[in-house]
Amino acid sequence: MNPIRHRFARLLLLAAVGAGALMSTATAAAADARPAFTPPSAASLPDTEFGKIVRQGEQIFLHTPQNASKFVGNDLNCASCHLDAGRRPDSAPMWAAYVLYPAYRAKNGHVNTLAERLQGCFRFSMNGKPPAADDPVLTALQTYMFWLASKAPTGVALKGQGYLKLPAPAQKADYVRGSEVYAQYCAVCHGAEGKGQKNGEHWVFPALWGPDSFNWGAGMHQIGNAAGFIKANMPLGQAGMLSDQEAWDVAYFMNAYERPQDPRYTESVAKTRAKYHDSDDSLYGIEVNGHLLGSDSPAPGGKLTQAAAR
C-alpha cells in the first residue's frame, strides 16, 4: 500500500476506535440514571463538638491501625479500599453507603445495621475483630460517614456507589495474562510479591496477598469487586488505563494467592467453600498452579492473634 494511503487509513482507524470508545462511555453514562452527589469538602468541617467526632472518624479512616489498634490485625487502612478518605466514586465511597443502611445482606442472611456492616469490615478486610456496636471507634466512623452524606437522599443508590460493575470478560480471567499486567503496572507500588510498601513504619501501599493483607472473608477477594476497583482506580493516578480484560486478569492473579484464613472456617476448605464461597467469583477452595487455595492460609486475626499467643 502507498505509505500516504496507509497512514491515512491508520488515522481513520484510530479515529473510529476513539469515536467508538466515546460512544461507549456516553452510552454507559446515559444508562446510569442514579443521581449524582458531591460530599462536603474537608474545609467545611464544623469547629464544634460534633465536628470533633467527625475528625476523629476521619483519622480512624485514614490511619486505622494507629487509631483502632485493638481491632485491626493487619496494616491496612479503611482508605486502602475506599480511596480519597472514602470520598472517591466507584471506590465504595462512604457517602453512598451511609444512605443505604440498614439493609439486607446475603453474606450473612439478615438485615444489617451500619454498625454491623462496619464490624464486618474489621473482621474481614482488617483481618481483626469487630468493635462493640457502641464502641467510640464505630461511633466516630459512623459520624464521619453521616457528615460525608450530608444532604444526600436517604435510601437512594447514588452514582458512584460501591465498586464499578464490569461486564463479563471477553476471555475467561487468566493467571498468566494477569501476572504480566501486574508486573507492568502494579508491582512498582505493591511489590513483586504483593507485600506492599512501607515508609518507615507507615504503610504507603497495602499488601494485596499474604499474611498482612485482607482475609478470605473480605469482599475484595471476590474477583468481580477487585476487577471493578482496579478498572476505576488503578494504577493510582492513571485510573481507566487498563482495559476491562486486563482488570479481570490482574484481579484473578491478585486473588490466586494465599491470604489469612476466612474466620468463618468450618471443618475443612471444601466445607467452607461450599458454605461461603460457592461461586465463580471466589478462588477459595480452588486449585491454582497446583495449590489448593485456603489449604495453607495463615490463621485469621493477624497481629491480634499473635499478640494473644505471647
Domain formed by 175-308, architecture: Orthogonal Bundle (1.10)
Nearest to 186 by CA among 162, 208, 219, 213: 208
Distance CA 310, CA 305 (A): 9
- Taking only the tens of pLDDT, the chain with its 310 residues reads 443 343 333 333 333 433 333 334 334 544 689 999 999 999 999 999 999 999 999 999 999 999 999 999 999 999 999 999 999 999 999 999 999 999 999 999 999 999 999 999 999 999 999 999 999 999 999 999 999 999 999 999 999 999 999 999 999 999 999 999 999 999 999 999 999 998 887 889 999 999 999 999 999 999 999 999 999 999 999 999 999 999 999 999 999 999 999 999 999 999 999 999 999 999 999 999 999 999 999 999 999 999 998 8
Choose the CATH number for 44-149 among 1.10.3720.10, 3.20.20.140, 1.10.760.10, 3.60.150.10.
1.10.760.10
Residue 95's identity, in one-letter code, is W
pTM for this one? 0.88
Domain with CATH 1.10.760.10 in the chain: 44-149, 175-308
Phi-psi region of 85 (alpha: psi -120 to 50; beta: other; left: phi over 0): left
Residue 91's identity, in one-letter code, is S
